[in-house]
Chains A and B, each alone.
Chain A
Amino acid sequence: MVQYGGDEVSALVIDIGTSSLRAGYAGDDTPKAIIPTSYGFVPVARDGDVAMAEAETEAEPTAPKEESKLYIGQHGPSVWREDMQIGNPMSEGLITDFKPIPYLIRYALKDVLRCKPEDHPVLVTEPAWNTPANRERMAEIMFEEFDVPAFYIANTGVLNAFAAGKGSALVIDIGHSTASVTPVVDGFVLRKGLVHSALPQLVYAHAKHTLITSYKHPAVQLFSHQLIANKSPVEAGSPPRFTVREDRLSKTTPSLASYYENREVEEWVQTVAGVLDQGWNEQAASQRPLRHYEFPTGFNTYFGPERFQVGELFFAHSRDLVSSNPHLPRTIPSLISQALAACDPDMRQVLMGNVVLAGGGSLFAGFGERLNNELVRNFPHVKIHAPGNPAERRYGGWLGGSILASLGTFHQLWISKEEWQEHGKPIVAQRCK
């Protein structure tokens, strides 16, 4: 305790990402509550009978009188419900729809953590490109709806650097929807060097395309197990034998169907896809072992070189792709070079010596090695810090927040309720630089 200068004030840390919302106590090494950010809702007629998410019974004075019932958490969007639609408040890493945010946070804090938010200071994370209006809105939610005694909003880039134990770092964060490169110096983001792109979305789209339109095997039907009544085992590569739950299929909304499809694609990517460590090479790709994968329909096959083409999109776009679409999201190497070009020449050496790899997307098979190989070519002294523990990699932002909020010297930075009431919204920009 003495050595690291920690002083636990039982703060809560909330890290909202596109794929999941992480919440837990500062000082822990992993978040206690990890719930999907996507939520299900069934639009109901306006008859005044408003019910909130399952466990929520208290009245919400400021909650919008929505015409829907929200299904949140592990039993939220993943459970099939009639006419349920899926919503996600995030786009491009930013919160664009604040209506469900209080419900999501309330679910995480009250139903999973089972704590009273009004007893705990709360640290919330934000992407580096967050807008001032967004962070003020978040402060408003925390103070007005959750009545927290103190609040702070910190940058995920900085927090990822802190989680790696560095004050200055080049943070490469591959999330579910956005890949970003953030130069962090002395705990501050260099905003001019900050770049991000929707690269992971392109990768998932490509993976889906590969599965549906591959010439090697019949088009994969991406039904999730919720929609399948029964199936029988088949030989690898042969068409599946299964029956769909017709009763459910007809009542599945398009947004739920696409949510399930995307889940299947993500699962395939996480299990099978990879990236070659030395650039694209047809021969090397064909020499790598085939990988077997079975879809919920029972269709199973071996995937060869095509699984490496998926990961290649992180690092290079093929000519065909570029010519077909000039507005492709930028690749990781080009993001890095762009970020570095905007930094001071003195700083570049420091940053390249402290590259921090974070985000669940960076767990992509072979990603770290490939990145290292790409960077060493131009920067011989590059040093990549990539935690081997997957939880540490996925929840690096949360972990950094957990570290920050349990430091004794940090407690002077909290925006207290008193200050919020006195100064109003400008205090957020003033305190959280």
Chain B
Amino acid sequence: MAGASAADVRSILSLPSSSTSAPAQPKKPAVPISRKPSGISRELYSLIGPSAPTLVAQVAKPRLKQKPNLSGGGTSKWSWRSFKNSARTDGLELGHWVKANTDPDAGPSLVFSPRYRYKDKGTLEYPFARYNAKSPDYTYSQEEYTNFLEDPEWTKEETDYLFNLIREYDSRFYIVNDRYEFPGGPFRSMEDLKDRYYSVCRKLIRNRPWSGDEASKAQLISTFQFDKEREVTRKKYLLSLENRTPEELAEETALYIELKRIEQNEKRFKQDRDRLLRTLLGAECGLPDLPIDEDGPLGDPKKRKKGAPGELDSPATPSSALFASSVPKRAQSAKSAAQDAMHCIQRMDVTMLAGTTPKTTHQAAHLRSFRVPYPKAAVAAKVSQIAGELGVSLSRLVMPTRDTLTAHEALLESITSLVEAKKVADRLDLEIRTAKIRLGMRESEVPAEMAMDVDEDGQAPDTPGEGRAHSVVSTRSGRSRKQASFRKVIPRSFPVAYWRWRSPQTGTSNDRRSMSVSSVDTSATSTARAGTKRQKLS
């Protein structure tokens, strides 16, 4: 029914055939050529046409699984045949099973026949015979021995014995050394044997005529190099390593962990600083391509010296005074000076902005209140406690003028150093005590004490707080540039708390933490959302 074409309709309605139908006519006989497959009704087939193979396949009569052919058509015959191994010197014939359809004259040929190689006679070789590889060995004549190889330590007989053993055991020196029993000879260590063997080989190569070029000769000689002294020292060192006591081992492990920790700290510190620098220089001022030293502005931190034992936690940052002298002061024009005086403007020297670097060509303007230093997080509690005892509130700086700020900074610094000093003193005290205990008691105290040490170090604060604080300040200044885009520093009496709220407080580490928290939050909400979605679906 659906197969009815326009021509059919025309013929039913006895209409004259259109001109367009004429070319369609020759196509028509092509359709019946594609035969209607069985299992599908004619009507359906004329509907869907031949272009539905998947449907046809489904409709097609189901076929049963082919029955296994058990009559032996797929099996191959095997026969027991004897073979000769060309790696043998005798005529031993062993037998093995091979496929019967292989050429019987060809000797053994198995499933791995591609690996067979034809010998010159055209017969096949036993496949495993070619693994009978011999390493090249060196022999010498009596004449050669007397000319080159004389050694007061070795007789010719013993040298012969050594070379025989090495040949016998394919240069496996551990075995050679184990089996070495030259009657009447002195005790020989493995290094003695190796030294003798390699030196003889070197001399032979050097003194024999060489067909190739000098380079290849030198290369060959270099493969026979043996430094006996070095080997002996190495073995001694190995032995001493093995003979370490458990205490020494524990100490070494502790030291190693400590070293790793310091390295990690330094790395983190460097990363932080680089990030800071990038923030300062690059992205926010639209100068992303500004070159930054790989080591950061302060040079390679590894090259810098470590401070006191208490300062292991963070590398010391040199004070900004270092740079103060190196940066030429900008001359102030008289005109601007007059203007400044009129408008009560105090110009700050760039280098006075602590922690900034001479490279920061773009010194952003910022509020002084941003420069209010805060004690380090590690000692904050103690510092505020001491400040409280003094009756000073650190959190609230009512008027952050230059003078107040300087005084504030000085106060904070001295409190911090006081706390540091206390800490160091405490630690030393503890160390003295534990040392006394250790003196009194046995070594079993060692692990416990070490654990204490590690704890102490874990708490140890970043002593050069100055540097860290400065860098923090400079970040803040960078960040606040958009909020206050004027160059001059204006004393502001905004409550500090406000600025705290507006900008991240303590440097980058806090920043990162807050970021991670927010990401966790979002993921949590997203999963919650997904959960609700799932609920809806169900």
Contacts and interface: CB of A to CB of B under 8 A. Distances in A.
Interface in B86-132: 87-88, 90-92, 94-97, 110-112, 126-129, 131-132
A345 B132 contact: no
Interface string A161-203: 0000000000000000000000001101011110000000000
B235 interface: yes
Contacts of A348: 242
B341 to A, nearest CB: 76
Contacts of B127: 7, 408
B135 to A, nearest CB: 13
B279 interface: no
Interface stretch (B174-182, B314-322, B368-376): B174-182
B169 interface: yes
Give chain B's interface residue range (CB within 8 Å of chain A). 20 to 34
Interface in B55-113: 85, 87-88, 90-92, 94-97, 110-112
B497 interface: no
Interface string B205-248: 00000000000000000000000000000010011001000000
Nearest to A423: B90
Contact of B128 (A5, A186, A419): A5
A149 B177 CA distance: 34
Nearest to B131: A409
A7 B127 CA distance: 10
A235 interface: no
B95 A347 contact: no
B168 interface: yes
Contact of A186 (B110, B129, B172): B172
Nearest to B92: A416
A375 to B, nearest CB: 14
Contact of B94 (A191, A414, A418): A414
Contact of B91 (A7, A347, A407, A418): A418
B190 interface: yes
Interface in A203-218: none
Residue among B97, B168, B175 with the most chain A CB within 10 A?
A: B175
Contacts of A417: 92
Contacts of B96: 7-10
A414 B238 contact: no
Interface residues of A, number: 34
Interface string A395-422: 0000000000001110110101111001
A248 to B, nearest CB: 50
Contacts of A191: 178-179
Given A346-B238, A412-B88, A414-B94, A185 B174 contact: yes
A1 B91 CA distance: 25
Contacts of B87: 412
B97 A8 contact: yes
A418 B90 contact: yes
A41 B32 CA distance: 95
Interface in B126-173: 126-129, 131-132, 168-169, 172
Contacts of B242: 345, 348
A344 interface: yes
A188 B85 CA distance: 24
Nearest to B89: A419
A346 B112 contact: no
Given A7-B96, A346-B235, A2 B111 contact: yes
Given A1-B112, A7-B96, A344-B190, A411 B85 contact: yes
B112 A188 contact: no
Contact of B178 (A192, A345, A412, A422): A192
Contacts of A149: 92, 94
Contacts of A433: 168-169
A252 B96 CA distance: 50
A198 B177 CA distance: 28
B174 A7 contact: no
A149 B128 CA distance: 20
A414 B91 CA distance: 12
A419 B94 contact: no
A192 to B, nearest CB: 5
A60 to B, nearest CB: 26
A188 B165 CA distance: 14
A157 interface: no
Contacts of A139: none
A422 B92 CA distance: 13
Contacts of A2: 111-112
B179 to A, nearest CB: 7
B95 A10 contact: yes
A9 B169 contact: no
A163 B509 CA distance: 57
A178 B5 CA distance: 99
Given A149-B92, A150-B92, A408 B128 contact: yes
A298 interface: no
Interface string A104-148: 000000000000000001000000000000000000000000000
Nearest to B93: A149
A412 B129 contact: yes
Contacts of A407: 128
A348 B172 CA distance: 16
A414 B95 contact: no
A185 B94 CA distance: 29
Nearest to A7: B96
B444 to A, nearest CB: 16
A433 B85 CA distance: 21
A5 B168 CA distance: 24
Contact of A345 (B88, B168, B175, B235): B235
A193 B175 CA distance: 11
B174 A9 contact: no
A7 B90 CA distance: 19
Contacts of B112: 1-2
A190 B174 contact: yes
A104 B179 CA distance: 34
Contact of A185 (B92, B131, B172): B172
Contacts of B172: 185-186, 188
Contact of A411 (B128, B179, B235): B128
A1 B96 CA distance: 13
B234 to A, nearest CB: 9
Contacts of B97: 8
Contacts of B92: 149-150, 414, 416-419
Contacts of B132: 409, 412
Interface string B428-457: 000000000000000000000000000000
Given A346-B238, A348-B242, A412 B85 contact: yes
A149 B90 CA distance: 12
B90 A416 contact: yes
Given A8-B96, A411-B85, A190 B175 contact: yes
A345 B85 contact: no
Contact of A121 (B94, B111, B177): B94
Nearest to B179: A191
A192 B180 CA distance: 10
B355 to A, nearest CB: 47
Nearest to A422: B90
A75 B90 CA distance: 42
Nearest to A379: B242
Contacts of A193: 178
A189 B482 CA distance: 79
Nearest to B108: A7
B349 to A, nearest CB: 60
Interface of B: 85, 87-88, 90-92, 94-97, 110-112, 126-129, 131-132, 168-169, 172, 174-175, 177-179, 190, 235, 238-239, 242
9 contacts: A2-B112, A8-B96, A186-B175, A188-B172, A344-B190, A409-B131, A411-B128, A412-B85, A433-B169
Given A7-B127, A346-B235, A409-B131, 8 more contacts: A1-B112, A10-B95, A10-B96, A188-B175, A344-B190, A345-B242, A408-B127, A412-B129
Nearest 7 pairs of A and B residues by beta carbon = A408-B128, A416-B92, A412-B87, A9-B94, A345-B238, A188-B175, A190-B178
